[in-house]
A = this chain, B = another copy of it.
């Protein structure tokens, strides 16, 4: 079982608009809402990929009740800590004209130290029987940036591998706990390591404590800098669609690969396929299956120096 921890989950609201024009009034054509936050989306993708998964999260207030209700309706196995604060919403505006997405992310409620202690204890308990634990998304206001590091280190002592996908202070401090895989995007990495070169940045994160680092490069694919070598993986083509859940799909595939001990070139191929098939699906947390299978064959993987290429099982390349 792969456990995903979402410290700051959200009710993801998606508005369909004709076109977003700043400083004007818009009729919202369609409204969809469901439980979200990176960890929840990772769990959804894991299930779609056929893995047993479990959501651990802190929810509160009216919005928290809607998050809880949607997780129940989706039949995602879950352990939820109730908090006093009001869970946050995200609002995504999708233009009917070009399918482009504009995101509005509420900061989320302050989590009290007693509530955080309860969530930590839950992670310890549920994590003990997990094959991998994923920490995904921001830490809520009120929680120190070092808390992911503590949870990661605690699980490492129990022999449970971890994946960390966050940014800013939570990432900077989090890597010192020794997570098995860290997945920053190129911007987050550059901000943190003060270098625009993702190989240098990833190497710096490894020196800080991360075992392996996978950098997402948007439509250019992925870069992995690991103890076993360094690779680049890129999709066979650019996919139009909503990129919101692409990073979460990458994390899901990496967590699954970590659980299964998949060798890195194949793991990256799966991650690229998950990423582009998430862009092709209409909502974050979902993937387009036929796209996934196609890209699993067609994605390009090579060593960073370009000396060696790796082909998918069914490819003719």
Contact = CB atoms under 8 A, between A and B. Distances in A.
Contacts of A24: 102-103
Contacts of A21: 102
B62 A26 contact: no
A25 interface: yes
B20 A103 contact: no
Interface string A47-75: 00000000000000010011000000000
Interface residue range, chain A: 20 to 34
Interface stretch (A104-112, A271-279, A289-297): A104-112
Contacts of A95: 22
Interface string A10-27: 000001010011111111
A100 interface: yes
B106 A22 contact: no
A97 to B, nearest CB: 11
A91 interface: yes
A189 interface: no
Interface of A: 15, 17, 20-29, 31, 62, 65-66, 91, 93, 95, 100-107
Contact of A27 (B22, B29, B65, B105): B105
A197 to B, nearest CB: 24
Contact of A102 (B26, B65, B100): B26
A8 to B, nearest CB: 13
A20 B17 contact: no
A26 B93 contact: no
Nearest to A30: B107
Given A25-B105, A62-B62, A62-B66, 12 more contacts: A15-B106, A17-B104, A20-B22, A20-B102, A22-B100, A22-B102, A23-B100, A25-B103, A27-B105, A28-B105, A28-B106, A29-B107
